[in-house]
Amino acid sequence: MANHEKHHSHGPVEPCFCPRCGGELELRTVKPSEPQRLVCQKCSFIFYLDPKVVAGTLFSLDGRVVLIRRGIEPAMGKWSFPGGYVDRGESVQEAAIRETKEECLLDVRLASLLGVYSYPRSPNVVVVYVGEVIGGELKAGDEAVEARAFKASEIPWQELAFMSTSDALRDYIRLNPGPRL
């Protein structure tokens, strides 16, 4: 798999028809300085393929960083921090808290923004927060097959799901060099 394909991605899915009039979409140069855009052949509507926003949380439990082994595609069986897509009508912060609860059954409070991760040719922007556990018990949720806390030296770097997972983990460890992590 090419490096750019290992991002948080389901793969390219481009619409074929205009959401306004149903006309066929085609790639056209709208402005010479910008990439080609999908444009309706009938009404000239420009269909912008915007990135999806993913929210996640990194936090420690008993001095160890919590990761989940994904139970769904993409990257099923690989390790990641709890996270997922932001639903329409919720904030990025609400999504990070919700996804953490869904994937590892822990309640967290968001302490700070860790980073925003985006990559060329990836359809996602990944927003990762540093969290603090305020309740629950660490267990795999519906979309995970395992939830586990790792010392930094135990992190399965070769089995991480996405580039954003490894980049965020490196940032988290750099900012939290605690004696037990």
Best CA proximity match to 56, nearest among 103, 89, 90, 19: 103
The 10 Å Cβ neighbour count of residue 141 is 18
* Separation of alpha carbons 117 and 169, rounded Å: 12
* Separation of alpha carbons 2 and 6, rounded Å: 7
Residues of the chain with pLDDT under 50: 1-10, 179
For the stretch 31-47, pLDDT in tens is 999 989 999 999 999 99
Helix (H, G, I), strand (E, B) or coil at 132: strand
Q: Could you tell me which CATH number the domain at 15-49 has? A: 2.20.70
pTM, two decimal places: 0.83
For the stretch 9-35, pLDDT in tens is 445 567 899 999 999 999 999 999 998
* Burial (CB count <10 Å: 0-12, 13-18, 19+), residue 27: exposed
DSSP β-bridge partners for residue 24: 17
The residues annotated as belonging to the active site are 146
- Sequence ranges of the chain with CATH classification 2.20.70: 15-49
Q: Specify the CATH class of 52-175 in words.
A: alpha beta
